[in-house]
Each structure stands twice: as structure tokens, then as C-alpha cells.
Amino acid sequence: MVENELEQNEVEAAPRRLRFEWLAPLWIRPRRVLEEIVHQDQPVWLAPMLVLTLTLLVAVVVTGAAQPSVSGLSGEVPSTFEYFTPEQQAQFQQAQSLQDGPLFRYVFPAAGGLIGLWLVWFLMGSILHLSLTLNGSRGSHLAAINLAAWASLPLALRFLVRTGAALATHQAVANPGLSGFIDSAAGGLDAFLRAFLSGIDLYFLWGIVLLWVGALPLSGLSRAKAALAVGVTALLVLALQALPGFISAQLSGLNTGGSFFFF
């Protein structure tokens, strides 16, 4: 009898890493939920990251399946194609057909999106912790990591909206965020600015507000200092997030507004 009670107490005292019960209340009472999250002394970031991962993968699969086929010679050929040798024409057609394969439609976008999602989450939590500490906070790195994960949940809505857009238009979003204000053919600093602005939308700003709401009880700082720390974090994360798309565009001439990083 005593042993059974001890085992039951151990089970009840075991840390719970999957806190799905916070998902719904976060949208209704974000301040109360985030305050509870930042006071946890154990990792509780797994549930929101699983939700984000799932919605991102759904967006990748639906977008890849909804896009029209680019194989063959559907008008997208060089003006000098007729002067190509038969071998060159065959190579061109093969390269076109590869873009319809699962690697380009699903594997590469999914791998890039997941790497971007998990890396940006960890960097956001780490930068937030450093920024708050420099402003006088004594909060833990674990608390900042937990907060960064839960504050990123509005991005799941972004992925769902992009899924719906792909189903409706049969193509990926061409100018995400505010990137449409910069010419897609721009180079140099304008190309970086376009990649930078592509990460700014309603869902990102919503997440930054949640980050600030949670940073207040986490750090014990004033509203102004917490806002400064969160603002610095947001700018650095956007800059780091823009680098892969900017570098890819500089090297290959691709549009910086649509990289593999769905984040």
C-alpha cells in the first residue's frame, strides 16, 4: 500500500513537458498563461514547437501539391532554345522535370522550413535572454526559451493561411510580409531589405507582443526596458532570418521574397 502511494506520488511529481492544455487559453488569457509559463523550472517548449512543425509541414505539402507542373517546355524556355544542340535541349528538359520531383516540391522546402523554424526559435530565446540580462533581468535562459516557443504560436496561423492561399491560387505566396514594397529585381541593400521585410506580418507582430507580455513577469523589468529588449530581439532575429534568402538571391538571382524558409 505504501509503495503504491509512493509510486503514484512520483508519477504526479514527474515533470510534464507536453502542456497542450495551455494552447487554447493562450489565445484567450495570454497574460495569465505566459506568466505561468515563464515561472516553470522545466522545459515546456515542446508542445508549441510540435504544433508549429505540424502546420509548417502541412503548408509545405499542400503548397507543393497545389503548384502547377513546370516540366516540359510550357513557355519557360530561353529565347535561343531552338539553337541548342539536342544534348543541351535534353539537359534543359531534364532540369525542368527535376523541379516537379519530390525533392524540389517537398523535401527541400520541408527541410529548409524546419531548420529555419527550430533555429530561429532557439536564437530568439537566446537573444531575448541576453537582451533582458543586459537590461538588468535575472531571468533564466530556460524561461526565455520556453517563452520564445509559446510566443511563436501565431506563426501557426501564418502557415495555415498560406496553406489556404496555396489551395485557392495553386501557387506559393510570392511576396510574403511587407516584401512587396521592394522591387523583386532589386539588388544590394534593397535585396536585403526585401528579405528583411518578408518576415514582418501580422503574425510576427502578434508574436512580438506576446513576447513582450511574457518578458514582463520573466524579467521584472519596467515596461519600457522590457519593450527595448524585445525590440532588439525582434530586429536581430529578422536580420538573421533574412540572411539565407539574401545570400541565395545574390548567388542565384532568385527572388528573396520566397525562400525555403517558411518562417
Tell whether the model's pLDDT for residue 12 goes beyond 50.
no
The answer to whether residue 242 is domain-embedded is yes
* pLDDT reading at 52 higher than 90: yes
Question: What is the domain range of residue 175?
Answer: 33-69+101-252
Residue 136 lies in a domain: yes
What pLDDT band is residue 160 in, cutting at 50, 70 and 90? very high
Please name the residues in contact with 254: beta carbons below 8 A apart, sequence gap of 6 or more: 248
Q: Does any domain span residue 89?
A: no
Which of the residue ranges 88-92, 217-221, 244-248 would you say has the lowest mean pLDDT? 88-92
More confident site: 255 or 154: 154
Mean pLDDT of 115-137: 95
Fill in the amino acid letter for 35: E
Pairwise pLDDT comparison (182 vs 62), residue with the higher score: 62
- Give the contacts of 4 (CB within 8 A, at least 6 positions apart): none
Neighbours of 98 (CB within 10 A): 12
What average pLDDT does the structure give for the chain? 82
Residue with C-alpha cell 509510486?
Answer: 7
Tell whether the model's pLDDT for residue 76 goes beyond 60: no
Q: How confident is the model at residue 91 (pLDDT cuts 50, 70, 90)?
A: low
Whether the predicted pLDDT of 81 surpasses 60: no
Q: Is the pLDDT reported for residue 30 higher than 80?
A: yes
User: Residue 20 domain-assigned?
Assistant: no
Among 25, 31, 21, 23, which Cα is nearest to 209's?
31
The answer to whether position 260 is within a domain reads no
Is residue 84 situated within a structural domain?
no
Cell representation of residue 59: 503548408
Secondary structure of 244-258 in HEC code, one letter for each residue: HHHHHHHHHCCCCCC
Between CA 41 and CA 73 the distance in angstroms is: 59
What's the pLDDT at 181? 76
Residue 235, CA atoms < 13 Å, CB-side half-sphere: 7
Q: Is residue 26 part of a domain?
A: no
- Domain annotation covers residue 1: no
The count of domains in the chain is 1
The full 3-state SS of 180-233, as one line of letters, equals HHCCCCCCCHHHHHHHHHCCCCHHHHHHHHHHHHHHHHHHCCCHHHHHHHHHHH
Indicate if the pLDDT at residue 64 is higher than 80: yes
Q: What is the pTM of this model?
A: 0.81
Which residue bears the cell 530568439?
A: 124
pLDDT at 175: 78
